A and B are shown apart, each in its own frame.
Chain A
Amino acid sequence: MLKPKQMSKVLLTGHKDVLEPTIETLHDLHALHIEEYVEEDYFHIGTPLSGADEGSKKLLKLRSIASFLGIKKPYHKPINARQLSSELEEKLETLGGVVSGKLGRKSQIEADLKDVQTGMHEVEAFAGIPVNFDLCRGYETLHVFAGTVKKGADVEAGLKGITDEYQFFAGNTGVFILVVPVKHREQVTDLLAEYEFGEVKIPAIPGTPDDLISELRNRQDSLTKDIESLSSEIDSVKAEYEDFILASEELLSIETQKKEAPLVFATSDHAFVIDGWIPDDEFETLRSRVEEATDNRVYVMIVEEPVDEASVPIEYDNPKIVKPMEAVMNLYARPRYHEIDPTTFVFIAFPLFYGMILGDIGYGLILLGISLYGRSKLHGEGWNSLFTVLIYCNIVTLFFGILYAEFLGFPLAGLHGHPGLIPGWETIPLFAGLGGEMITYPIHRTHLVTTLLVVTLLIGVMHINVGLIIGFRNVLAKHGMKAAVLEKAAWIVLQVGIFLLLFGMMGVVTSMVPGAVVFVLAVIMLVAGEGGTAIMELPSVLSNVLSYSRLLAVGLSSIGIATAVNIMSGMMFDSGGLFIVVAVVIFILGHALNTALSIIAPGLHALRLQYVEFFTKFYEGGGRIYNPFGYKRIYTEE
């Protein structure tokens, strides 16, 4: 639980004749992390098994069809792999035929629609002009102007000054067509130039604008209908083949993965060698399964050589309930092979800190609901871990919410004559805390700041020392007792010194001398262990511990926001009338905002206490990911 899975390095050696059954067995086992072979003099990397090409081609075709149909990845009932593989070829062929026809039709319709829209755009400018476009072309003695002039300009009045021989048609959009004899062309051009004439091209299609517009509109409608019917056809194809596509994509991926596996093996003319890592508890299964599948023609052995920590792939070894926290670990770094895997500590401390910070029944219930709903709706490993971690966090939040008796920032219990949300529930004083404060049930965080501040700092001291103890164990295993004492235990001694000094100052102990002695001793140990730079690190003890005050501070700021929202909406509500609606809006929006902040702020701060304050005491991280050869089937089953 506290260490990653123990791994062994294994070698599989055999004749090429039995390569295929070996790959088959290894793939089924899904346990061997294969090391890629780097080519040297004698051995070469292997060549893919026959049929790898074809498989890749089919996979490519299938994936392009899937993207055309827009297939997402829902979870389905798995399909039998054997049956699927027998009918795959034929079905893929049919599907390809159906889809490629639709693909062609779709692009044809889209091109047509585009043409119609361009035509429409040109013709629409002339809407309302009762002239066939054919009549606007091909004259020797007449000149045709088409376009717009600036607003308010009276073209006809201007024309009267030049000639009476003209035809003027104005449309609905401000565009006009003007026909004048060629001899007046220059004068009219000048006149129009004064009116800021902008030419509009007359479309090269026969027909009057209004007829053309209605014709184009009809065409556009029919094309849109075509597209709709086509997409419903595509939908029906999708519905019919979705399962098949997802399942056969998976099947083909598996096939390709198996066929291309030899690319990472070392091979000679007749033999192959596979080099990899396997968890200790799976080795016997691997050996017996491989030997059985190949009639003992593959030799499986453990390589007994000192392991280089950096080369071992790391697989977590945690109970199921702790598993989701591995996502939090991966965000930082995987543990190294000989280190303590701190996932379990994070599993305890992270939700605890989150709950301490948030500690509100209302937000706890909302977020618990959201994360339960999210976990049932969104699948996939990442989402599942995220929501499960949120569920853990908010269960703890509910616990602290009951301890603090807070609901969306309202206190549930009354205090000092201020009634709480639950009538008749009065705060019970228990015993005196620090700084003249009284510890009560429920705990009112806003009234117990000094006491809670000290409590959070003590939590910090404990958390940091757990880190130092783990660090002590890690250094002990790696560099021996002397280094462990000087590098890790010295920090604990330093804290003892600081506490003795503090007690001396407060008068708990009569003399400051023991504290000073222990403190100096710790500093000497640190300098001996880590060198002079340790002196610069000394204040980090203080700043690390003080950092835990965020357990109180972030919570108080969250209460602050909630209270502000409650007061604002309360004031609006008391004004009555329409203001009640405003009050409700403020209440909902404000608490929605604070709920969003309630994931981010406590989450990040609790996380940061793990990463920055806790992990720096012991954790190196940087292990390789254990990626066993095999495939996690979702859509097919054997």
Chain B
Amino acid sequence: MAIELAGATVEQILTNQKGLIAIGAGLAVGLTGLGSAIAEKDIGSAAVGAFTEKEELFGKGLIMTVIPETIVIFGFVIAIMLIL
């Protein structure tokens, strides 16, 4: 059997799967985090530019800046669901 050929027991395979799940969860958070960061970088610099010109825009700029945070929250939820 393949399992025995590889020299691994069922427990080891299961542990390996846990590792893969952890890697998957990490990727889900890490990559979505990168995505959010790239989007927030552009919005953030534009927002800073806008509110140095007009200070009332601070609030709106702040809100605009956190809009892409949704992406990383999706990633975070997926990661939690993967681990559970």
A residues bordering B, Cβ < 8 Å?
A: 331-332, 435, 449-450, 453, 543, 546-547, 549-550, 552-554, 556-557, 604-605, 607-608, 611-612
In the bound complex, do residue B77 and residue A549 qualify as a contact, i.e. CB atoms below 8 Å apart?
Answer: yes
Nearest chain A residue, comparing its CB with the CB of B76: A553
> Which one of B16-24, B44-52, B63-71 is at the A interface?
B63-71
Asked whether B80 is an interface residue with its Cβ less than 8 Å from the other chain, the reply is: yes
Nearest chain B residue, comparing its CB with the CB of A604: B66
Nearest chain B residue, comparing its CB with the CB of A552: B77
Q: Given A547-B70, A550-B70, A605-B69: A453 and B77 within 8 A (CB)?
A: yes
In the bound complex, do residue B73 and residue A550 qualify as a contact, i.e. CB atoms below 8 Å apart?
Answer: yes
Residue in contact with B63 in the complex, picked from A453, A550, A611, CB distance below 8 Å: A611
On chain A, the residues within 8 Å of B76 by CB distance are 553, 556-557
Asked whether B13 is an interface residue with its Cβ less than 8 Å from the other chain, the reply is: no
On chain A, the residues within 8 Å of B41 by CB distance are none
List 21 A–B pairs whose Cβ atoms lie within 8 Å, in order of A's numbering: A331-B60, A331-B63, A450-B81, A450-B84, A453-B81, A547-B70, A547-B73, A549-B73, A550-B69, A550-B70, A550-B73, A552-B77, A553-B77, A553-B80, A556-B80, A557-B76, A604-B62, A604-B66, A605-B66, A608-B66, A608-B69
Q: Given A604-B63, A608-B63: A449 and B70 within 8 A (CB)?
A: no
| A-contact bits for B30-69, CB 8 A (1 contact / 0 none) | 0000000000000000000000000000011011001101
Nearest chain A residue, comparing its CB with the CB of B75: A553
Residue in contact with A549 in the complex, picked from B60, B62, B63, B74, CB distance below 8 Å: B74
In the bound complex, do residue A449 and residue B80 qualify as a contact, i.e. CB atoms below 8 Å apart?
Answer: yes
How many Å lie between the Cα of A312 and that of B77 in the bound state? 45
In the bound complex, do residue A546 and residue B74 qualify as a contact, i.e. CB atoms below 8 Å apart?
Answer: yes
Nearest chain B residue, comparing its CB with the CB of A456: B77
On chain B, the residues within 8 Å of A449 by CB distance are 80-81, 84
Task: Tell me how far the C-beta of A533 lies from the nearest C-beta in chain B, rounded to whole angstroms.
Answer: 20
Q: Which 7 A-B pairs have the closest CB atoms?
A: A331-B59, A550-B73, A553-B76, A553-B73, A604-B66, A549-B77, A449-B80
On chain B, the residues within 8 Å of A605 by CB distance are 66, 69
Task: Tell me how far the C-beta of A581 lies from the nearest C-beta in chain B, rounded to whole angstroms.
Answer: 34
Q: Given A331-B59, A449-B84: A608 and B67 within 8 A (CB)?
A: yes
On chain B, the residues within 8 Å of A546 by CB distance are 74, 77
Nearest chain B residue, comparing its CB with the CB of A435: B84
Nearest chain B residue, comparing its CB with the CB of A447: B84
Task: Tell me how far the C-beta of A620 lies from the nearest C-beta in chain B, rounded to whole angstroms.
Answer: 16
How many Å lie between the Cα of A607 and that of B76 in the bound state? 20
On chain A, the residues within 8 Å of B67 by CB distance are 608, 612
How many Å lie between the Cα of A607 and that of B61 in the bound state? 13
On chain A, the residues within 8 Å of B70 by CB distance are 543, 547, 550
Task: Tell me how far the C-beta of B71 lies from the nearest C-beta in chain A, rounded to whole angstroms.
Answer: 10
How many Å lie between the Cα of A547 and that of B59 in the bound state? 21
On chain B, the residues within 8 Å of A554 by CB distance are 73
On chain B, the residues within 8 Å of A331 by CB distance are 59-60, 63
Q: For the A-B complex with A546-B77, A552-B77 known, give 17 more contacts whose Cβ atoms are closer than 8 Å.
A: A331-B60, A450-B84, A453-B77, A453-B81, A546-B74, A547-B73, A549-B74, A550-B69, A553-B76, A554-B73, A556-B76, A556-B80, A557-B76, A604-B62, A605-B69, A608-B63, A611-B63
Nearest chain A residue, comparing its CB with the CB of B84: A449
| A-contact bits for B4-32, CB 8 A (1 contact / 0 none) | 00000000000000000000000000000
Residue in contact with A332 in the complex, picked from B60, B69, B74, B81, CB distance below 8 Å: B60
Q: Given A547-B73, A550-B70: A607 and B63 within 8 A (CB)?
A: yes
On chain B, the residues within 8 Å of A612 by CB distance are 63, 67
On chain B, the residues within 8 Å of A543 by CB distance are 70
How many Å lie between the Cα of A40 and that of B67 in the bound state? 47
On chain B, the residues within 8 Å of A557 by CB distance are 76
Task: Tell me how far the C-beta of B51 lies from the nearest C-beta in chain A, rounded to whole angstroms.
Answer: 12
How many Å lie between the Cα of A607 and that of B59 in the bound state? 11
Task: Tell me how far the C-beta of A61 lies from the nearest C-beta in chain B, rounded to whole angstroms.
Answer: 29
Nearest chain A residue, comparing its CB with the CB of B74: A546
How many Å lie between the Cα of A118 and that of B36 in the bound state? 55
On chain B, the residues within 8 Å of A604 by CB distance are 62-63, 66
On chain B, the residues within 8 Å of A435 by CB distance are 84
How many Å lie between the Cα of A527 and that of B47 in the bound state? 35
Task: Tell me how far the C-beta of B67 lies from the nearest C-beta in chain A, rounded to whole angstroms.
Answer: 6
Task: Tell me how far the C-beta of A559 lies from the nearest C-beta in chain B, rounded to whole angstroms.
Answer: 12
On chain A, the residues within 8 Å of B80 by CB distance are 449, 553, 556
Nearest chain A residue, comparing its CB with the CB of B59: A331
Task: Tell me how far the C-beta of B5 lies from the nearest C-beta in chain A, rounded to whole angstroms.
Answer: 35
How many Å lie between the Cα of A237 and that of B69 in the bound state? 54
On chain A, the residues within 8 Å of B69 by CB distance are 550, 605, 608
